[in-house]
Chain A
Amino acid sequence: DGGITQSPKYLFRKEGQNVTLSCEQNLNHDAMYWYRQDPGQGLRLIYYSQIVNDFQKGDIAEGYSVSREKKESFPLTVTSAQKNPTAFYLCASSIGLGYEQYFGPGTRLTVT
Chain B
Amino acid sequence: KNEVEQSPQNLTAQEGEFITINCSYSVGISALHWLQQHPGGGIVSLFMLSSGKKKHGRLIATINIQEKHSSLHITASHPRDSAVYICAVVPSNTGNQFYFGTGTSLTVIP
Which residues on A are within 8 Å of B, measured CB to CB?
40-45, 48, 50, 58, 88, 90, 92, 97-106, 108
Contacts and interface: CB of A to CB of B under 8 A. Distances in A.
A100 B43 contact: no
Interface residues of B, number: 25
B41 A100 contact: no
Interface of B: 2, 4, 30-31, 33, 35, 40-45, 48, 86, 88, 90, 95-103
Contact of B30 (A98, A100, A103): A98
Contact of A40 (B42, B45, B99, B102): B102
A105 B88 CA distance: 18
Contacts, number: 55
B48 to A, nearest CB: 5
A97 B102 contact: no
Contacts of B101: 42
A100 B33 contact: yes
A32 to B, nearest CB: 12
A101 B89 CA distance: 12
Contacts of A105: 40-42
B102 A98 contact: no
